[in-house]
């Protein structure tokens, strides 16, 4: 994704520790625990902004809990911090969108937890789709046609945008195709994470993007 931006930002990726690879609320609460995030942040080398690049491991804490999750990262590194869940909220507000559909890879209960998080942030979710995939490992095997299929199925006529959570999903290559097919913005987890990092670093005004859809065009 960084290679599609000009100038290309330097992106440091640290894989935080994982207890169990499972889209279950208990496993996700453990995944996003403070010790795991602090250990990962300690490996970063003087970033301008830091993102907890995980949707489900942030929204399961609720809006206030997700804030408490990223505040220590900002204090630890001395830079702005956010998470993929807040990136979705900020991207939606930037686009001026109020009603969204969610096309998720998750089981239904985890998908509903994301919808509840969005509702807490004042965003109306008009429809949810859940692929009921338990592990991020399996999500990472989805090819372009499967992504196009389940995201298209998750759209709704009343939705002004479609949200596709889960940073394990390979989606950057199909965002433009999806937006053309659905005639509305499509926001994926990794897309909004990159956008949010650049926003916090104060770099969006200097970046030109190719093939990353309406959010970066905006």
pLDDT tops 90 at residue 87: yes
pLDDT tops 90 at residue 64: yes
- Residue 129 pLDDT class (50, 70, 90 cuts): very high
Instruction: For residues 215 and 210, give the distance between their C-alpha atoms in angstroms, rounded to a whole number.
Output: 11
C-alpha 83: how far from chain center: 8
pLDDT tops 90 at residue 112: yes
Q: Where are the domains of the chain?
A: 2-217
Mean pLDDT on 46-66: 96
> What kind of fold does domain 2-217 have according to CATH?
Rossmann fold (3.40.50)
pLDDT recorded at residue 210 = 84
Burial class (CB in 10 A: 0-12, 13-18, 19+), 12: exposed
Q: How do residues 134-177 score in pLDDT, each as one tens digit?
A: 999 999 999 999 999 999 999 999 999 999 999 999 988 899 99
Enumerate the H helices of the chain as residue ranges: 25-31, 34-41, 56-59, 62-77, 84-95, 108-120, 136-139, 144-153, 175-182, 189-200, 213-217
């Amino acid at each position: 994704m960084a290679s599609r931006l000009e100038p290309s930002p330097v992106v440091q990726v640290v894989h935080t520790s994982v207890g169990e690879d499972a889209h279950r609320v208990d496993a996700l609460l453990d995944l996003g625990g403070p010790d795991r995030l602090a250990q990962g942040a300690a490996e970063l080398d003087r970033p301008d902004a830091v993102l907890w690049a995980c949707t489900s491991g942030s929204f399961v804490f609720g809006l206030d809990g997700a804030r408490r999750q990223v505040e220590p990262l900002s204090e630890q590194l001395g830079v702005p911090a956010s998470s993929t869940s807040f990136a979705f909220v900020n991207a939606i507000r930037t686009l001026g969108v109020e009603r969204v559909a969610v096309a998720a890879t998750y089981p239904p209960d985890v998908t509903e937890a994301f919808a509840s998080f969005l509702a807490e942030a004042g965003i109306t979710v008009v429809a949810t789709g859940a692929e009921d995939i338990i592990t991020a490992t399996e999500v990472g095997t989805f090819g372009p046609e499967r992504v196009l299929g389940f995201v298209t199925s998750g759209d709704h006529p009343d939705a002004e945008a479609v949200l596709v959570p889960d940073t394990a999903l390979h989606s950057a290559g199909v965002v433009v195709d999806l937006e053309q097919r659905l005639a509305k913005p499509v926001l994926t987890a990794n897309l909004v994470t990159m956008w949010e990092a650049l926003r916090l670093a104060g770099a969006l005004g200097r970046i030109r993007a190719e093939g990353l859809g309406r959010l970066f065009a905006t």
